[in-house]
Amino acid sequence: MSENNQFQRNYTLQQHTMLLHFQADNNLDGRKVCLRASEVKPKLDRYLTRILGGNSKVPTEWIQQLSANKTDISYRYQMRIEQKEPNTARITDDIPKIFYGNMSNGENESGNKSKKRGVYFPNGLMLTITCFIPDLLLKIDEIIGDFFIATNFGTMQGKGFGSFTVDKRSTDQICETLIRFNDAKKCYYFEGGANRLYDKIGENKCLNEQGQDCIFARIKQVYSVMKSGSRVPYYRSYIYQYMHTKQIGNEKAKMKLTQTSPDYKPKRFAKPESLLQEKLEHYYVRAVLGIGSRINYITDIDGYNMLDKNGQIKYDKRGNPIRAKEPIVITHTEKDEKKRIERYASPVFFKVIEGTVYMIGRKGNDDILGKEFTFTNNDKNTKQNPKAGNSCTLNVVDSFDIEDFLSCYVKDYNNQFIKKVGVADCFRIQEYAKGGSHK
C-alpha cells in the first residue's frame, strides 16, 4: 500500500495465475488489457454487503444505487485498476490444457475469432479506491485482503485462473479465510509444483512445464478424478463411487441400460454392473459438480472411427484407429425457456497462492437439485450408429452435502488413487480443519 490519504487507498495486486481475458487480442493492443474494475467492484460490493449482514444493515449514506434486480447494492466509492508500468502486460496463447474454450471457430461482434488468451502482469497491478465516506473506506480497507483470497476473476475462475492477492498470508490464515467466507468446516490444499507465475529470464516468456502448466495439470487431475475418473490408470469417477455408497445409480449407467450411450458392453477393465445398476434408482449425479450443455463419449461401435478432413481414418500415437465420439446433448426439461438451466458452476472452488493450490466446497446454490434433464444421443451418422436419437430422462439428486463429499474424496484420493498411480508420480492433498488442525 502506498500514497494513501484519508480519501484514497492504493493496493498492489500480486498475480498468482494467468487471467483468461476475452479482449487480450493483438488487434485491441493486448498490452493495455487489465483486470477490469467492472468485474471486481460488483463482487467487492456483494462481499461487503455480506460482511455487514445484508442490505438492511448497510448505512443509507453508503449506498450509491441498487442494481436492476433491486437486490445488489452499489456503494459510494470509485475503483480504478491499471498496470503499475503501462503496456507491460504479456499475452500468451499457451493456455494450460484444463481450458477447452478456444476450440470453437466462432467469431465475436467485431468479426474476429472469439478466442480467449492468457494475460500476465509481470510488474503487478495497482488498484486505487477513492471514497469520501471515511467509515466506508476504513471498512473496505479492513476486508479487501480477505476478499481477494476468496475470489478469482475472468474465465474459469472456479478452477483457479485469475488469482490475485493484496497481502501475504500463511497457509493457516488462507485456509481460515476460505473457511470463513464459505461457511465451511474444512479447507484442503496441495503443492502446485511451482511457486512462480512469471519468468523474467530471456524474453520474459511465460513459465510452462515448471509454472502454470504444472499447477493446472494438478488441479485438472484432482478435479477429473473427482468428477470423471481416470482412464490410465483406470479409476472410476469418485462421484459415482460416492453415490453408490448411498445406493444411488448414475446417468452413465442409465444411458448404458437404455442404449443411449456410452459403451453398452463393459470394457475389460470395468466390472460388469448391469445387474447391480438395474436394482438401483438412477439420477443425474454428476450435475452436483457442475453441468454443461453436452458431453462426448467414445463409441463402442466397431469400425466407427474418427476421420480427418480428407475422409481418412485418424490414428493415435500407437497406430490404433481413434474411435468416433458420440455427442450427448443434455437438456433441462423446464418448459419456460427463461427458467431453463443450461449451465451450472461447480461448487468446488480452487485458489492458487504462491504455488499452493487451495480447494474448498461452496454452499448455498441448490437450484440444480431435483431438476429433470434429458440425455439425447445427437450423433447425425445414423447409418453407422444405431443409438443415434436414443434418449433417457433423469432427475438430479434431491440433496447433496459438498463438505461430506470432499472429505470422503480426499481420503479416497490420498489412499486408493495414489496406490493406483504410484506415490512417486502423485501428490497428497492436505486437510486443514477450522480452528487450526492439519492432516
Rounded to an integer, the average pLDDT of 24-47 is 78
Predicted TM-score (pTM) of this structure: 0.87
pLDDT at 266: 47
Rounded to an integer, the average pLDDT of 18-47 is 78
pLDDT above 50 for 104: no
Strand partners, 5: 8
pLDDT above 80 for 255: yes
Q: Going by C-beta distance under 8 Å and a sequence separation of 6 or more, which residues neighbour residue 394?
A: 251, 254, 282, 283, 284, 372, 373, 375
pLDDT at 348: 96
pLDDT at 112: 45
Q: What DSSP assignment string belongs to 92-139?
A: ES---TT--GGG---B-TTSSB---EEEE-TT-EEEEEE-S-HHHHHH
Name which of 245, 247, 225, 230 is nearest 410 in CA terms. 225
pLDDT at 312: 87
Rounded to an integer, the average pLDDT of 217-242 is 89
pLDDT at 398: 94
pLDDT above 90 for 121: no
pLDDT at 52: 96
Domains of the chain with CATH codes: 8-55+69-168 (3.30.70), 220-438 (no CATH)
Counting other chains too, the contacts that 337-345 makes at CB distance below 8 Å and 24 or more residues apart are 341/291, 341/367, 341/368, 341/371, 342/293, 343/290, 343/291, 343/292, 343/293, 344/287, 344/290, 344/291, 344/368, 345/158, 345/290
pLDDT above 50 for 106: no
pLDDT by residue (tens digit) across 159-175? 999 999 999 999 999 99
Percent of the chain with pLDDT over 90: 49
As a whole number of angstroms, the distance between CA 110 and CA 32 comes to 18
Does residue 140 or residue 87 have the better pLDDT? 140
As a whole number of angstroms, the distance between CA 370 and CA 367 comes to 8
pLDDT by residue (tens digit) across 353-396? 988 999 999 986 688 999 999 999 988 888 788 888 999 999 99
Task: Indicate the DSSP class of residue 31.
Answer: G
pLDDT above 80 for 113: no
